[in-house]
């Protein structure tokens, strides 16, 4: 790992490094200070501060990273660093064996990479920006070990023109890692609960960000591309956003994508469903209450706006709020000030508001059911999420996603969806949108007996002529015809239109299969061209 003959592909300068200004003798006083800190048991924080100073000033590193290994969660995370932003540092989470850092923890052996651009193991999990200098940089990563137990790593990154200097620095950092190993173990023992919570918090934040990233909202249709573009634009601002769309289209996903792509992404993302809270509790839920404000208020309570301070509040089904609560919400939008129920002290909140509704707020304003001034305060940047019936081939993309998701959850192995089932899914008008599709697919996965989703695994509503434009109803005889039709189609599809092979697969004679194909208007030629059959 620490190879003295590392090749750089360019001239090597085995000169005295003191002559170039990179004299390692200058590190001796700093090492003496580090040894004093360790001997006085001043704690890990003081020791790491000195180590990072050595790496930045004396070793002229561009980046320095110290990770700790939490054995309980089997997770490696960045504990201290320089040259990284807070955002980059929080993304630096690894599992043993994952990337260079994970391999060092797993093996207990140092790894030196002469050029990052030539390493397949370098993941850049932190997302640090690429540059020409960084492509030429070397990466040193050594384990912090006590006995045979790996406690973490020390890693540094910089450009080297001398293989000798790279080797010396790698050995130097390895020596430092040995010196601080006792302090690292004491820290992990004393802070095991804190480390576990910190690791879990970082993991959950990263999971949430991945879940709500616009790229992970499934769909490539033109209407969804327009939604993605609006998300990108509003994420750079603090403007109030009103998300419009039918029930089940994914308004919450859009709200989450806006928050986690914004400058407030490190703050909380608090969801408040205005339709799920009884009218008499909505005000307390939003703005909080003081102790004794009403019967049952045994203690003071922070409302959703206070909980979202420094982040984003998502008001789902905002059209369900009463006029009285609407008036208080208007004040928050105008002044960013709330007042708890039973309280007299105004509280400032720094919060972005994203609202959503499936109702026609403009019509409600005309009927006097929604405040006009609040409507215009919310209607700053409207985003309309299209219904599933207007998203074309997105139905297939979403179906594949939900099949994989439901298969994992139900321990099934669904390998494909039959052509008739796909035809039914594409023909249906999806009044419940994406939420309905998810439920339909979960049902089909559970009912499937042969790792294939067939048309007869789908609900009756998708199989009637009124809903799908097909010729089969839901009577017993029609259901039998539907199953028979689908089995014939699948056999012809798998045999590439060879009637003899299809008949053998179905246990029929060629003549019997021909009669059934004639009954349903199926032509073997359709399957030789690859064109999906139509009933």
- Asked if 44 and 184 count as a contact pair (C-beta separation under 8 A), the reply is yes
CATH code for the domain in which residue 486 is found: 1.10.8.60
12 in a structural domain: no
Burial of 186 (0-12, 13-18, 19+ CB in 10 A): middle
Q: Are 18 and 126 in contact (CB under 8 A)?
A: no
**Domain containing 165 — which CATH number?**
3.30.450.40
Answer yes or no: are the C-beta atoms of 205 and 90 closer than 8 Å: yes
How far apart are alpha carbons 516 and 160 in whole angstroms? 76
218-232 per-residue burial string, b: 16 or more CB within 10 A, e: under 16: bbebeebeebbebbe
Residue 44 lies in a domain: yes
Q: From the DSSP assignment, how many helices (H) and strands (E) are in the chain?
A: 22, 15
Cα–Cα distance measured from residue 333 to residue 330, given in angstroms and rounded to the nearest whole number: 5
Judge whether 268 and 307 are in contact, CB under 8 Å.
Answer: yes
User: At what angle are helices 163-190 and 44-53 packed, to 10 degrees?
Assistant: 160
What pLDDT, on a 0 to 100 scale, did the predictor assign at position 136?
85
Tokens of 328: 């208080």
Q: Do 145 and 177 meet the contact criterion of CB atoms below 8 Å apart?
A: yes
Judge if 394 and 485 occupy the same domain: yes
Looking at the structure, tell me whether residues 252 and 150 fall in a common domain: no
**pLDDT the model gives residue 234:** 92
Q: How many CA atoms lie within 13 A of 185 on its CB side?
A: 13
According to DSSP, the residues that pair with 111 across neighbouring strands are: 141
pLDDT for the residue numbered 357: 95
**Which H, E and C letters describe 330-356, residue by residue?**
HHHHHHCEECCECCCCCEECCCEEEEE
Q: How far apart are CA 463 and CA 380, in angstroms?
A: 43
Q: Look at residues 150, 171, 204 and tell me which one is the last residue of a structural domain.
A: 204
Indicate whether 447 belongs to any domain. yes
Give me the pLDDT at residue 190, please: 75
What are the structure tokens assigned to 133, written together? 């200098």
Q: Are residues 301 and 399 in the same domain?
A: no
CA–CA distances in Å: residue 214 to residues 88, 228, 379: 20, 6, 22
Of the candidates 480, 482, 440, the one whose C-alpha atom is nearest the C-alpha of residue 461 is 440
Looking at the fold, whether 367 and 425 belong to one and the same domain comes out as no
* Residue 247 in domain: yes
d(CA 422, CA 510): 27
Q: For residue 271, give the 3-state DSSP assignment.
A: strand
End-to-end CA distance of the chain, in Å? 65
Residue 82, judged by CB atoms within 10 A of its CB (0-12, 13-18, 19+), counts as: middle
**C-alpha angle 407-410-416 in degrees, rounded to nearest 5:** 25
d(CA 105, CA 65): 14
CA 29 to chain centre: 46
The C-alpha atoms of residue 473 and residue 464 are separated, in whole angstroms, by 5
What per-residue confidence (pLDDT) applies to 300?
Answer: 78
Q: Which residues contact 198 (CB under 8 A, 6 or more apart)?
A: 77
- Do 155 and 224 lie in one domain? The reply is no
Please check whether residues 370 and 408 belong to one and the same domain: no
Helix (H, G, I), strand (E, B) or coil at 120: coil
- CA 344 and chain centroid, separation: 41
User: How many CB atoms lie under 10 A from the CB of residue 464?
Assistant: 17
342 and 431 housed in the same domain: no
Same domain, 408 and 365: no
Residue 342 CA to residue 289 CA, distance in Å, equals 6
Give the Cα separation of 294 and 1 in Å (integer): 69
Counting the structural domains of the chain, the total is: 3
Tokens 């996965």, located at residue: 445
Domain CATH number, residue 261: 3.40.50.300
User: What's the 3-state SS for 53-97?
Assistant: HHHHHHCCCCEEEEEEEECCCCEEEEEEEECCCHHHHHHCEECCC
Query: Does 8 fall in a domain?
Result: no
pLDDT reported for residue 10:
40
- Between CA 48 and CA 52 the distance in angstroms is 6
User: Residue ranges of the chain with pLDDT lower than 50?
Assistant: 1-16, 465-473, 530-535
Strands in 385-486 per DSSP E: 416-417, 452-453
Clarify whether residues 317 and 233 are in a common domain.
Answer: yes
Question: What is the Cα–Cα distance from 90 to 20, expressed in whole angstroms?
Answer: 36
Same domain, 412 and 375: no
Answer with the one of 366, 384, 402 that is the final residue of a domain: 384
Residue 296's domain comprises 213-384
One domain, residues 420 and 373: no
Quote the CA–CA distance of 136 and 114 in Å, as a whole number.
Answer: 8
**Residues 73 and 198: beta-carbon distance below 8 Å:** no
**Domain-located, residue 428:** yes
Choosing from 343, 361, 384, the residue where a domain stops is 384
Q: Are residues 328 and 427 in the same domain?
A: no
0.75 surpassed by pTM: no
| Gap between the Cα atoms of 457 and 200, Å rounded | 40
- The candidate with the shortest Cα–Cα distance to 534, out of 444, 394, 398, 424, is 424
Decide if 410 is inside a domain.
Answer: yes
Does residue 357 lie in a domain region?
yes
Beta strand pairing call for 352-357 and 312-316 = parallel
């Amino acid at each position: 790992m620490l190879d003295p003959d590392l090749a750089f592909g360019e001239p090597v300068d085995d000169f005295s490094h003191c002559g170039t200004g990179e004299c390692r003798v200058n590190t001796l006083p700093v090492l003496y200070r580090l040894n004093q800190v360790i001997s006085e048991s001043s704690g890990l924080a003081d020791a790491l501060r000195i180590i990072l100073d050595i790496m930045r000033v004396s070793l002229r590193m561009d980046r320095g990273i110290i990770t700790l290994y939490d054995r309980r969660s089997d997770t490696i995370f960045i504990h201290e660093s320089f040259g990284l932003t807070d955002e980059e540092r929080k993304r630096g989470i690894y599992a043993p064996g994952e990337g260079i850092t994970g391999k060092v923890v797993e093996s207990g052996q140092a790894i030196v990479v002469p050029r990052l651009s030539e390493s397949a193991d370098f993941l850049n999990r932190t997302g640090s920006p690429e540059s020409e200098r960084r492509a030429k940089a070397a990466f040193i990563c050594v384990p912090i070990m006590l006995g045979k137990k790996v406690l973490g790593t020390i890693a540094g990154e910089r450009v080297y023109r001398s293989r000798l200097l790279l080797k010396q620095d790698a050995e130097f950092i390895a020596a430092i890692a040995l010196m601080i190993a006792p302090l690292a173990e004491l820290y992990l023992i004393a802070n095991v609960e804190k480390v576990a919570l910190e690791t879990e918090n970082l993991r959950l934040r990263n999971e949430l960000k991945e879940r709500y990233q616009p790229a992970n909202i499934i769909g490539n249709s033109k209407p969804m591309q327009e939604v993605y573009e609006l998300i990108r634009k509003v994420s750079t601002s603090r403007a109030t956003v009103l998300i419009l769309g039918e029930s089940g289209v994914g308004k919450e996903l859009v709200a989450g994508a806006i928050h986690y792509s914004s400058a407030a992404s490190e703050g909380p993302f608090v969801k408040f469903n205005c339709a799920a809270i009884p009218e008499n509790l909505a005000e307390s839920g939003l703005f909080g209450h003081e102790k004794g404000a009403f019967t049952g208020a045994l203690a003071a309570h922070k409302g959703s706006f206070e909980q979202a301070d420094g982040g984003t509040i998502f008001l789902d089904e905002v059209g369900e709020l009463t006029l009285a609560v609407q008036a208080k919400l208007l004040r928050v939008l105008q002044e960013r000030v709330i007042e708890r129920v039973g309280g007299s002290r105004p509280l400032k909140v720094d919060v972005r508001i994203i609202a959503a509704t499936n109702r026609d707020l403009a019509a409600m304003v005309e009927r006097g059911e929604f405040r006009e001034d609040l409507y215009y305060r919310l209607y700053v940047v409207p985003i309309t999420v299209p219904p599933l019936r207007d998203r074309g081939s997105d139905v297939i993309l979403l179906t594949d996603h939900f099949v994989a998701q439901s298969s994992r959850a139900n321990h099934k192995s669904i390998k494909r969806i039959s052509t008739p089932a796909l035809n039914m899914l594409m023909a249906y008008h999806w009044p419940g949108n994406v939420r309905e599709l998810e439920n339909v697919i979960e049902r089909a996965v559970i009912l499937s007996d042969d790792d294939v989703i067939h048309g007869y695994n789908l609900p009756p509503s998708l199989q009637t002529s009124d809903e799908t434009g097909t010729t089969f109803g839901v009577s017993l005889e029609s259901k039998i015809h539907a199953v028979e039709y689908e089995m014939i189609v699948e056999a012809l599809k798998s045999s590439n239109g060879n009637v003899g092979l299809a008949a053998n697969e179905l246990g029929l004679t060629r003549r019997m299969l021909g009669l059934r194909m004639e009954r349903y208007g199926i032509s073997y030629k359709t399957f030789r061209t690859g064109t999906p059959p139509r009933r």
